[in-house]
Amino acid sequence: MALSDNQKRKIKALLSSKIENKLKTYGRETTSMPFLARLIQDNEKIAAYSFIHSMATTLGMSIYEDVSVILASENSEECFRNYGVGGAISKNQKSVIGNIIAKLRNGERKAEINEEKNEVLAASSDKGEFQKSGNIADFYMKRKGEEYYFEIKTVKPNIDVFEKSKTKLLEWVARRRKPVNVFLAFPYNPYHPEPYSRFTESGMMDAPNDFLVGDEYWDFIGGKGTFPELLKTFDEVGKEFKERLDKKFKDIAKDKMDSY
């Protein structure tokens, strides 16, 4: 499924507004990098680094959540970012989830999300209480009556992030009290063209049944062939702003970084 003209227009408008705002409001917070300035010997490159880092921080993970909503809006009944899952979790359910996570971490069992869901749903939900922590899904969509909940994370997390994310996924199942679809998703594969491989994953996930990376995620949301078209759309916006960004780097570089 190719991106529609409407989707491309919305994504371009989103990206353009982010870049425009950064160009207008950016002010360099760091005015001195004495060691880096002496090593790099190029004030413009340091200025570019400073701006790009600020831009990446501004975009954060929210840009991927916003794009996900745009992609899913034309092929799902409903879709939202920062979606409150709601529901209650009992002590029994939390105990079962904790046991699953511990065994996965210690290599005592193999990740199998459907089996894990069944164990969580079989646990008593009596005396469940609302738990604020872990209540928000970064992205949610409902398609053909099926509910899908996603945790979208940076691409090189430590082992604690994998454990916390897997715990959150299983808690979403407990909250909804039915076998909803839950995923940890990474927006791209930093090891491309090699398969994603991160020692901190440590057997915690059951890819691709609860773990989607790069094209797997975007094609799942938008349909087959979405990922390359999405990259092309980002590329087109980048080319539109290239000259203005280059000028911004030069303007920033006029203020020397080295004040020692």
Q: Would you write out the chain's pLDDT as a tens digit for each of its 260 residues?
A: 579 999 999 999 999 999 999 898 887 666 677 787 788 888 888 888 888 888 888 788 899 999 999 999 999 999 999 999 999 999 999 999 999 999 999 999 999 999 999 999 999 999 999 999 999 999 999 999 999 999 999 888 888 889 999 999 999 999 999 999 999 999 999 888 888 876 656 789 999 999 999 999 999 999 999 999 999 999 999 999 999 999 888 888 776 555 54
What CATH code would you report for 76-222?
A: 3.40.1560
The answer to whether residues 200 and 158 touch, using CB atoms and an 8 Å cutoff, is yes
Which pLDDT value is given to residue 79? Answer: 97
Contacts of 33 (CB under 8 A, 6+ apart): 46, 257, 258
Listed in sequence order, the DSSP H helices in the chain are 5-25, 34-40, 43-59, 62-72, 91-105, 113-122, 159-176, 215-222, 226-253
Which pLDDT value is given to residue 253? Answer: 77
Count other Cβ atoms within 10 Å, centred on residue 193. 5
Which pLDDT value is given to residue 51? Answer: 85
Q: Where are the domains of the chain?
A: 1-60+241-260, 76-222
Give CA–CA dist 189/24, Å, rounded. 31
Give CA–CA dist 173/178, Å, rounded. 6
Which pLDDT value is given to residue 260? Answer: 47
Which pLDDT value is given to residue 200? Answer: 57
Which pLDDT value is given to residue 60? Answer: 82
